[in-house]
Amino acid sequence: MTFNHRRILTAAALLLAAAVSVGVTVYRAGDASAAQTTMRAADPSVIRVGSTYVSVQSWNGGIGVRQAASTAGLASATVSQVWSDTGRLGEVWAPEVHYDGGRYYVYFAAGTGAAHRMYVISSAGATGGYTAAQRMALPDDRWAIDGTMLTFNGQRYFVWSGWAGDTNIEQNLYIARMSSPTATTGARYVISQPRESWERVVGNPFINEGPEAIKDPNGQLHVVYSTNGSWSDQYCLADLRLRAGGDPTYVWDWYKSNGCHFGSNRSTIMSGWDPTLYVNGPGHHSFVLLNGDINTSPPAGSAFPLMYHGVPKGTAYSWANRYWYTGTFMWWGNITYTRANVPGATSNTGWSLKFFE
C-alpha cells in the first residue's frame, strides 16, 4: 500500500547523461557509488510535455506540482500546491499526472481505511487552475488506489490496484475501459493477483500495486507493477505482457514475468536479472514518457529514463526513508513469461525490460 508523507527536498540535483535523466550521487554503500536521488519522497510520477518536465507528489496534505526545463531542475523547482484536501477526504496517496487532449489530469487516491477511492482533477495548465476533485465511479465501487490511464489501440483504459470485496486480503490489478479521461465504462476486469510465490514473501495483505503501462518495440502492451509489501525491503517491480492481438480486459491474454525485474533480494529476482546494489526495496516507478503516453514508448536500443522510490542501503527501511531515484531501463528481447497466476500453463516469448540504478 502507498502511504503519504510530507515531502522534504534534499540538496541533490539531477544531471543529464547519455540522453537520459540521472542524478548526483548522494549515498554510498561500502566503497561503491550509490544510485542517484532527487528528493525525499515516494511514488514518483514524471512526464515530459514538449520540452518541460512535470512531476506530481503528495504535498502538504494535498497535491504539489513541479515543472522544469530539464529533469535536472525538478529537485529545486518551486512546488505549486494545485489541490488541497479542504473536504477532508483523508490520506492522499500516489498522485499521477497524464496529459491528454491538451489538458493535464492528475489521478490520486484519497480516504481513510476501507474508504480509499480514486479521484481526478484536471487543468489546461500544469501548475494551476485545476478543477475540483471528482470521485471516479469505478465499477463495483471497492477500495482503490494507484490509478493510471493509458490509450492502447485507440481505446482509453484505467488500471488500478484494488480489493475484490470489502476486506483487505489481497490487492489485485484491475482494468476498465474509459469513455473519457475522467470516466470508466462497463465492468472491471482483474488482470493480476499476487499468487506467485515470489509475490507472497511479504503479506497481510499480499499486493499488486503501482501499475505503469508501456508499449514494447513489437507494439505489445506491458503493465509493470510493484509487489510484496511496500513496508519491507522485499518491494520490487514485476511485469505483465499482453500477448500480441490480446484483449487487455481478458486475464488469460496476460503473461507474467517469472520473478521480479527490479528488486534488492536475489530470492525474488527472475533468472538472468540482478538485485540492486545501492537501494533497498525499489518500487512504484514512473516511465518518463512524452506526454505520459505509451504510444511514445521508446524503441529497442538505448537506455531511457526511469524514476522509482527506494531506501538507500544502510538506512533503516521505512516509509519515511523513501527517496525518489532516477535510473534507466531498456528493452530485453526473447524472454519467456508464463500465463499470469497459472503455474505450468502455456508460455509466451517476447520483449521484457531491464532496469538499472
- The domain of 43 spans 8-356
- The alpha carbons of the chain give a radius of gyration, in whole angstroms, of 18
d(CA 311, CA 321): 6
Q: Is residue 284 situated within a structural domain?
A: yes
Give the pLDDT confidence of 309-336 residue by residue, as tens digits: 999 999 999 999 999 998 999 999 999 9
d(CA 74, CA 46): 10
Give the count of domains, the chain: 1
The phi and psi torsions of 320 (rounded to 5 degrees) equal -70, -20
Contact yes or no for 311/318 (Cβ under 8 A): yes
Residue-level pLDDT at 75: 83
Q: Is residue 219 situated within a structural domain?
A: yes
Q: Is 304 helix (H, G, I), strand (E, B) or coil?
A: strand
Q: Is residue 350 situated within a structural domain?
A: yes
Percentage helix, strand, coil for the chain under 3-state DSSP, each rounded to 5: 5, 55, 40
Q: Is 51 helix (H, G, I), strand (E, B) or coil?
A: coil
| Residue located via cell numbers 513469461 | 337
Q: Is 234 helix (H, G, I), strand (E, B) or coil?
A: coil
Residue-level pLDDT at 36: 73
Residue-level pLDDT at 16: 26
Residue-level pLDDT at 342: 73
Residue-level pLDDT at 102: 96
d(CA 52, CA 134): 26
Residue-level pLDDT at 70: 75
d(CA 156, CA 109): 20
Domain CATH code at residue 20:
2.115.10.20
* Grid coordinates given for 48: 515530459
Residue-level pLDDT at 234: 98
Contact yes or no for 105/180 (Cβ under 8 A): no
**pTM reported for the whole predicted model:** 0.90
Burial grade of 115 (CB within 10 A; 0-12, 13-18, 19 or more): exposed
- Any idea of the CA torsion for 249, 253, 256, 261, to the nearest 10 degrees? -70
pLDDT < 50 regions, the chain: 1-33
Q: Is residue 3 situated within a structural domain?
A: no
Residue-level pLDDT at 73: 78
Buried residues in 298-330 as b, exposed as e (16+ CB within 10 A): beeeebbbbbbbbbbbeeebeeebbbbbbbbbb
